[in-house]
Structure 1
Amino acid sequence: MATWQPDPSFYPSPRMAAKAPQEKLAYVAAFDPDRIKPDAIAVVDVDPNSPSYSRIVGQVDMPNAGDELHHFGWNACSSCLCPNAPHPHMERRYLVVPGLRSSRLHIIDTKPDPRNPRIVKVIEPAEIAEKAGYSRLHTIHCGPEGIYVNALGNAEGKAPGGVFLLDSESFNVLGQWEMDRGPQKLAYDFWWHLGHDTMVTSEWGTPDTFEDGLVPEILLGSKYGRRLHFWDLHKRKHLQEIDFGEEHQLVFELRPAHNPTMAYGFVGCVISLKDLSASIWTWYRDGDKWAVKKIIEIPAEPAEPDLLPPLLKGFKAVPPLVTDIDLSMDDRFLYVSCWGTGDMIQYDVSDPFTPKETGRVRIGGIVSRATHAGAKNGALNGGPQMVEISRDGKRVYFTNSLYGAIDPQFYPEGIDGWMVKLDAAADGGIEFDEKFFVDWPKGHRPHQVRLEGGDCSSDSYCYP
């Protein structure tokens, strides 16, 4: 008699997930900044024993142009094993792929042939606007009750942005998540502490303030996002807002501790108006409230104005521009992408309040244009951006494009896409895998990376 088995890529705890088998494929969102040819999900061979290692081996094109594919995710993950809403017989099978500009959602089946995924459903923006009241879809997370999608604007592309749910089997749009949003208006990223019944959300801006690029007056006027919001996950109710202060702009990527007994996480702030530095903050429980502490400050680097894009000439400096962070499964190492200077920095955050730098590499960068042993044409542009870590923490993948309208503000000649891989030592230290360099085909730029079977930012866990 056949018995139902949970998906083998689901793990009850992060400790068990770290023992998962090595990924062989990576799925990468690729978009056309000119919005002429359709965006795609590319399939990259990441198996070092394969003859096609470090090459694109498959691709699924979107049915329309101009989506600007962004932070996609799985239909199901290890949170399906949680005791509050268990459905362990779900399968990690479908990629849920949002268009940030088009507000369209694509459901892509990876199961019949993982190298040649296929689109099985497209949810049009009108349906999402009608049923959930949102547009400009940004990030996907699979939760215990379904698929969570966040959006940067309401149906008209204004405030408030927020979160809605999809049914994880039919992919029907269920509706807006928030019951009481309190003062929250702006949206960007969201994550949660399942063990502490808390959702955390961060802020960027409304679509009209970034779809044609960052607006200097809004940035210098401190009108972009600078707050974290904490919510009761079960009651869907806003509990607390923390304002980082006027000098801090663009409070972006959220990475909570994987261990569900821990109530802390890390968030990156892209830029300080005071000195162009970037910063990393820890949020944590302080008595019966949430609090934040700045734990890392990464300074801007002085530079000759001739080498800088028009936006930065007056500052005579390259800002680090921390645009993504990622946390290893054991909560030990935090990776920080400095898209402006070209650095990828590894910190030991075993103590989340006293980080220690343990590794650093440089590639691309506004001024440095650092190269890679696998690159054929010397100087590289763009810089470390979307970063993803293998579940065992030994491999780190990243790409170099931020957002179609913002790329040329900092890299005016346009970005030539690439994807690279780092090897990470057990006790810290990172170096490039010289055999892994994907010179991205012209006409697309690579963004989010997802690893087959899960990675360090795809799942949440209910057991320590």
Structure 2
Amino acid sequence: MLADPEAMKRFGNTVVQWNLHTKQPKKVFDVPGAPLEIRCAWGENHNYCFTSTALTSKIWLIYEDQEGAWQAKEVADVGDPSKIPLPVDISIQSDDKMLWVNTFMDGKTRAFDISDPFKPKQVFEQKIGAQVNMVSSSWDGKRLYYTSSLLANWDKKGADNEQFLKAYDWDGKQLKEKFAIDFTKEKLGRA
């Protein structure tokens, strides 16, 4: 699909900065590869956000430069882009030092040190399940929560169609599973 320009036209390739008061776009950034989620830094004067692109497996930084203009810059790869791990959700820890990136196709979560937002460095990787979608970091950064379903029509088939909520403790070096709810086993529907 990536080699087919017509197929790629069916996916979004922009990020739009909005003026929320006037409800008008301020700037449109060219971010090829279907950017899905955008997460902004929490800290005062941390005028930047991250997005990941599902089809090209890149992390992009959207930031305010020294002249006060906003820019978009590709800053890191997610996994092996040639294998299209399909980054789907991202979460910035409240101290703005870690970015969590989930990849649906390989079921992994990856942690990037974003102390320097222009040079994210992957520092951790772990398989969460056959498929993983959403990630949320607790405010203190010590717990992470994962769910698996992307879209019912896109979820994997058979045994790989896992439907779960999983919670992990994070000690800064490793994830340790605390509990998991199997939505299929409990007959709860999709996660």
**TM-score (normalizing by structure 2):** 0.87
Aligned pairs, how many?
A: 186
Note if 1:418 corresponds to 2:161: no
CA contact (8 A) 1:222 1:249 kept: no
Identify if the C-alpha distance between structure 1 residues 333 and 219 changes in structure 2 by more than 3 Å, giving closer, same or farther. farther
Q: Could you say which residue in structure 1 is the equivalent of 2:138?
A: 390
- 1:249 CA drift (Å): 2.5
Tell me: higher relative CO, structure 1 or 2? Use CA pairs within 8 A at least 6 residues apart.
1
1:331 is paired with a residue whose SS is coil
More strand by share: 2
Note if 1:296 corresponds to 2:46: no
Identify if the C-alpha distance between structure 1 residues 299 and 335 changes in structure 2 by more than 3 Å, giving closer, same or farther. closer
What is the rounded CA distance, in whole Å, between the counterparts of 1:299 and 1:335 in structure 2? 13
Larger displacement relative to structure 2 (229-238 or 261-270): 229-238
Q: Could you say which residue in structure 1 is the equivalent of 2:180?
A: 437
Identify if the C-alpha distance between structure 1 residues 219 and 254 changes in structure 2 by more than 3 Å, giving closer, same or farther. farther
Q: How does 1:85-164 map to 2 (within 5 A)?
A: none
Q: Could you say which residue in structure 2 is the equivalent of 1:327?
A: 92
1:280 is paired with a residue whose SS is strand
Q: Could you say which residue in structure 2 is the equivalent of 1:89?
A: none
CA contact (8 A) 1:401 1:445 kept: yes
Structure 1 runs not aligned, ≥5 long? 1-213, 273-277, 302-316, 365-380, 447-464
Of residues 49, 55, 58 in structure 2, which corresponds to 1:279?
58
- 1:258 CA drift (Å): 0.9
What is the rounded CA distance, in whole Å, between the counterparts of 2:42 and 2:134 in structure 1? 19
CA contact (8 A) 1:226 1:251 kept: yes
Q: How does 1:452-463 map to 2 (within 5 A)?
A: none
1:336 is paired with a residue whose SS is strand
Of residues 216, 219, 222 in structure 1, which corresponds to 2:9?
222
What is the rounded CA distance, in whole Å, between the counterparts of 1:331 and 1:265 in structure 2? 10
What is the rounded CA distance, in whole Å, between the counterparts of 2:135 and 2:24 in structure 1? 31
Structure 2 runs not aligned, ≥5 long? none
CA contact (8 A) 1:360 1:429 kept: no
What is the rounded CA distance, in whole Å, between the counterparts of 1:443 and 1:399 in structure 2? 13
- 1:218 CA drift (Å): 8.4
Of residues 124, 149, 153 in structure 2, which corresponds to 1:401?
149
**TM-score (normalizing by structure 1):** 0.38
- 1:418 CA drift (Å): 1.5
Note if 1:261 corresponds to 2:45: yes
Q: Could you say which residue in structure 2 is the equivalent of 1:340?
A: 105
Cα deviation per residue 1:34-76 (whole Å; 9 max; x = unaligned)? Answer: xxxxxxxxxxxxxxxxxxxxxxxxxxxxxxxxxxxxxxxxxxx
What is the rounded CA distance, in whole Å, between the counterparts of 2:6 and 2:136 in structure 1? 28
What is the rounded CA distance, in whole Å, between the counterparts of 2:138 and 2:78 in structure 1? 25
- 1:358 CA drift (Å): 2.1
Instruction: State the percentage of identical aligned residues.
Output: 29
Larger radius of gyration: 1
1:357 is paired with a residue whose SS is strand
Which amino acid in the other structure matches residue 412 of structure 1? Answer: K
Return structure 1 stretches of 4+ with deviation > 4 angstroms. none
Q: Could you say which residue in structure 2 is the equivalent of 1:236?
A: 23
CA contact (8 A) 1:325 1:335 kept: yes
- 1:442 CA drift (Å): 3.4
2:22 is paired with a residue whose SS is coil
Cα deviation per residue 1:383-424 (whole Å; 9 max; x = unaligned)? Answer: 2211111111100010111011211xxx23261311212221
Identify if the C-alpha distance between structure 1 residues 270 and 221 changes in structure 2 by more than 3 Å, giving closer, same or farther. closer
Which amino acid in the other structure matches residue 438 of structure 1? Answer: I
Root mean square deviation of aligned Cα: 2.3
